Structure 1
Amino acid sequence: MLGPIGPAQSDELIHFTGKGGAFPASVPEEIRRLQPQERLDAILASAVLKGFPPFGATRACVCFSESPPEHLAYLITVCGFAPWGVVITRGQMLGAGGGAVAYVPTQVRQDFAQAGLGHWAVRTDTDSMWMHEREWRLPLRPGGEGAKLGGLAAILIGDAAWRPSLVGTGNWVNRSTGERCFGPDADPYCEEVEDLPELWQRSEIWVWDKASQTVVRHAPGTLC
C-alpha cells in the first residue's frame, strides 16, 4: 500500500515530451529536433522510454512530473510544458525502482553527487529554481536501451484529432486475396497488417482542452 494521496499530490506521473528550456547536453540532436508529438509517436511505436543524464547528473534517467489537475494546467499554461506525453502511476514508478527527487541546497546536492547519488537530487539556488516540476525520476541501467513500457495509465495529447503512426502487427495477408500468409519470403504479394500501437489501444487518452484548461479523459479503445 502506498498510503493516501492528498489533494496537493497525484497518483499519476507525467513524462512530458516537450517543455520550455534547454536540453541537457546528453540528449542527441536527432531527438532535440523532433516536435513533442513526434517524440510521443516514437515512444508509442517502440514501447520504450529513452532516458539521458539530467542536468548535473551522470546516471541516465527518465523524468516525470507529479501533476494534480490544477498543477498540470499551471505547467502547460505558465511554465511552457507541451501537452504531450505518457502517464504512469506511482505504483508503476516505485515498482520499477524510481522515486521522487530531493530538492536540496547546493552543498547537500554535492554530498549526493559524491555518494554516487547525484541523479536523486536537484539543487535549489537563485539559478536553479525547478521545484515547480515536482520531479520523479526512473534511473536506467547503464548501457540499456531504455525503460520498456508494458502498460501506461494514460497518454496525454494536445490535439483531439491526432493519432499515432501505424505499426506492424506481425500478421501478414495476401494483398490480392486477403488471405493470411507467412511473409514476403513465402509469397511476394504478402504485406504486413498495420494498426495503431498497442499502448494507444490499451491506454486511457487525455486530450488537453485549451479553452477550459483541463484534460478530457477517454476510455481505452475509444479514440482508435
Structure 2
Amino acid sequence: MVEISLLGSVGPAQSDELVHFTSRGREPGPGATPDVRAMTASQRLDSILGSETLRTFAPYGVARACACFSESPANHLAHLIVDRQFEPWGIVATRDGLLAAGGGAVAYVPDEVYNQLRAAGLEHWAVRTGAGSTWMHEREWRVPAPDGTAGMQLYSLRAVLVGDRDWRPSPVRTGLSMHMDQGTLCEGCPDPFCEEMTDLPRLWLQSEIWVWDPVTRQVELYPPGALR
C-alpha cells in the first residue's frame, strides 16, 4: 500500500488505489472518438500503455474533458466487475497521484445543486442524483484535462489491471538497434543486419500487474517485470 500523505489514513470502505476501467460495460460517453468506440477494452489498454497517455473525453452531461477513475476496495472491485459488468481491463493510480494531477472525488448531489455547479462551470466535479441518474456505485474520481491537451500523460502507475494472465501489450520501439549476427548494439551503423529492438511498454514492466480471477472474484498480484 502507498502511504497517503494528503488525506490521512483511509478506512475499510475507502481505497488507496483508483481504477480507470477501459470499459464500464456500456457505450462510451458522447465525447469519445470513433476510433476509441471501435476498440475492445484490451485494445484501449494496449493503446494507453503504448502511448503512455490516457486520452480524456467529456463525461455524460459535462463540458470539460476528464480522466475518470473508480475508488474500489477489493470487495467493491469485485462488485463492479461481476455485478455491474465493468470489464477487468484498466490502469490503477493512487490517491496522491490523482490529487497531485489536479484530480479529486466527485460529489453526488441533488439536481438543484448540480444545476448551480453547472451555472458556475463546475459540473465536472459533480454527478446528479435525481431521476434517471444512478451512478453512485462508480465512486468516481475525476482529473480535469488541462486546457489545450488531448490527454493525461502517464509517468508511473500503481498497477495494470487485465482480465487474462496470458495477455501482453504490443511491443514498442526502444530506439536501440542490434547487430543480429554479432549480438551487439549498433551505433550509427548502416549495416543491413542491424535491426531496431522492441520491448514491452515501460509502464507494463514498471508496474504491478493485477490479473482478475473470475473464480475467486479477486485479483492475482504480480510484481513489476514478472509477466514479460
Q: How high is the sequence identity, in percent, across the aligned residues?
A: 52
Measure, in 2, the Cα distance between the counterparts of 1:12 and 1:180.
40
Residue aligning to 1:213: 217
Q: Where does structure 2 lack aligned partners over 5 or more consecutive residues?
A: none
SS in structure 1 at match of 2:161: strand
Q: Indicate conservation of the 8 Å contact 1:100/1:137, yes or no.
A: yes
Name the counterpart of 1:31. Answer: 36
**What are the equivalent positions in structure 2 for 1:17-166 lying under 5 Å apart?**
17-166=22-171
Distance 1:198 1:23 in 2: 27
Check whether the contact 1:83–1:158 (CA below 8 A) recurs between aligned residues.
yes
Runs of 5+ unmatched residues, structure 1: none
Q: Is the 8 A contact 1:83 1:157 kept in 2?
A: yes
The letter for the 2-side match of 1:167 is: V
Partner of 2:184: 179
Matched residues in 2 for 1:143 and 1:216: separation? 38
What's 2:203 paired with? 199
Deviations 1:95-120 (A, max 9, x none): 11000001111121111111111111
CA distance in 2, matches of 1:139, 1:41: 22
Structure-2-length-normalised TM-score: 0.94
**Cα distance in structure 2, aligned partners of 1:21 and 1:85:** 15
SS in 2 for 1:132: helix
**Structure 1's 213 and 114: CA in aligned 2 closer, same or farther, altered over 3 A?**
same
Match of 1:169 among 174, 181, 184: 174
Alpha-carbon distance between aligned partners in 1 of 2:218 and 2:60, rounded to the nearest angstrom = 30
- When the two chains are superposed, the root-mean-square deviation of aligned CA atoms in Å is 1.3
Separation of aligned partners in 1, 2:74 and 2:37: 28
1:59-95 alpha-carbon deviations (Å, 9 max, x no partner): 1100000000000000000101000000000000001
Could you state the TM-score of these two structures normalised by the residue count of structure 1? 0.96
- Count of residues in Structure 1 that have an aligned counterpart in Structure 2: 223
Cα deviation digits, residues 144-165 of structure 1 (max 9, x gap):
1311111000000000111111
Q: Which deviates further from its counterpart, 103-112 or 85-94?
A: 103-112
Structure 1 runs (4+) deviating above 2 angstroms are 174-179, 186-190
